[in-house]
Structure 1
Amino acid sequence: MASFGTLKLRKITWSELFYDTLELAKKIAFAGFHPELLVVVARGGLVVGRLLSDFLSIRRIANVSVRLYEGIGTAAKEPILEGSINSDEVQGKPVLVVDDIVDSGTTLSFVLKYISAHNPGEVRSAALYVKPWAKTRPDFFVRVIEEWAVFPYEIRETLESIPNEYRSLLGIDSKVIEDIKNIVENSKR
């Protein structure tokens, strides 16, 4: 765990992500919930959703892109939906909404209302982690954390959001940081 001002950062490893997602799948399966469709909140929930689809043998996956955070600890006023779901995919079916983390609960609440408007048979939600102050909590989660989670699939975003002097606190090899900078520079050409 690293500190960025008063904000504490928690780097999630690929191994933690895998085993925590496996634990989440167990909770869902042993609760007797058998969704026919996963609705994954993109982009954060994409990796977790893909793993859950494998562990739970669910082939049907849809995603909604919802933007709430504009940087580390900086939220927009309202969630912005960037994409949509076909009502026929959802109507009458048991649906599991999946994200990687629930912070304030605003995004989860927004997506649950959006999916409910498409008349699912049942809708439940899952996330690996939840913050203790979340106003809406997922039905299934692995643990409560207070820190800002830095997932292994968002290293570039994090590096661009924090001052250089804090980068070393994330424990990321300087060669990796340099490689990411070079990739970003070359992709903009």
Structure 2
Amino acid sequence: MTSPYDYSTRQGIYPISWEDFHGLCKALAQAAAVFDPAIILGVGRGGYYPATLIAHLLQAEIYPVRLSRRVNDVVTHERPQWMVHPPETVRGQRVLVVDEISSTGETLEMVKAEALRLGAADVRCAVLYAHTWGAAIPDAIGLITDALILNPWDREIYRDGAFQFHPEYVEALAQQGVAPSPDLLIPATPVGPLAKDTLGS
């Protein structure tokens, strides 16, 4: 099975705009409406973005769950580790698990199994993206691609007083033979100043 962090296996790059993101979420909401979920479980961190929008579109309750191979954004575990479990309120409810991507599908299967263990009536899974080797797990997929996906929300970080490409993307792009360039960033400038700047005091 392909490692979810082996970026050398990606075929090209696929920058996702905020408009692309919104369109993918609308398509997933349409697909999920037939299931009519009462509760959406957003898998953090990346799954919080589509889960929140889909929950608004479907007017469903949303709860965060968290399990990850990462600690402080560094991959440290071979298997996903639980940090935040589903709530007891899933009991007897139709539950939609929403995540950013299905690579191995292991995270989705773990959340689904935990929700069913807690008594959920039925559980389905939806993701923005899936690689071909992880496409069999979700019930709904916005986009199937083996390209290196550049998300709009984590493409850049703020460090040392400046916005810059996320180091993981820089490394992943290098494995594709692509140098990070400004046209790959989201064309947005900070709007401000803050009405009340007390964070630094």
TM superposition score category, shorter chain reference:
0.7 to 0.9
Q: Provide, for residues 96-129 of structure 1, a one-character-per-residue CA deviation record: whole Å limited to 9, x for no partner.
A: 0001211111111121112121110111111111
Could you tell me the TM-score, scaled by structure 2's length? 0.73
What's the offset of the Cα at 1:174? Answer: 10
Which of the two has greater helix per residue? 1
Equivalent residue, structure 1, for 2:166: 159
What's the offset of the Cα at 1:6? Answer: 5.5
Change beyond 3 A, Cα 1:23–1:135: closer
Change beyond 3 A, Cα 1:37–1:154: same
Could you tell me the TM-score, scaled by structure 1's length? 0.77
- Inter-partner Cα distance in structure 2 for 1:169 and 1:146: 23
Equivalent residue, structure 2, for 1:20: 24
What's the offset of the Cα at 1:136? Answer: 4.9
Query: Secondary structure of the residue that 1:82 maps to in structure 2?
Result: strand
Q: Which of structure 1's runs of 4+ aligned residues deviate more than 3 A? A: 4-9, 69-72, 173-176
What's the offset of the Cα at 1:9? Answer: 3.2
- Inter-partner Cα distance in structure 2 for 1:62 and 1:123: 14
Change beyond 3 A, Cα 1:173–1:49: closer
Task: Give 5+ residue unaligned stretches, structure 1.
Answer: 180-186
Equivalent residue, structure 2, for 1:61: 62
Are 1:92 and 1:119, in contact at CA under 8 Å, matched by a contact in 2? yes
Equivalent residue, structure 2, for 1:133: 133
Task: Give 5+ residue unaligned stretches, structure 2.
Answer: 1-6, 158-164, 191-198
Are 2:97 and 2:126, in contact at CA under 8 Å, matched by a contact in 1? yes
Code of the aligned partner of 1:40: G
Change beyond 3 A, Cα 1:144–1:91: same
Code of the aligned partner of 2:78: K
Equivalent residue, structure 1, for 2:13: 9
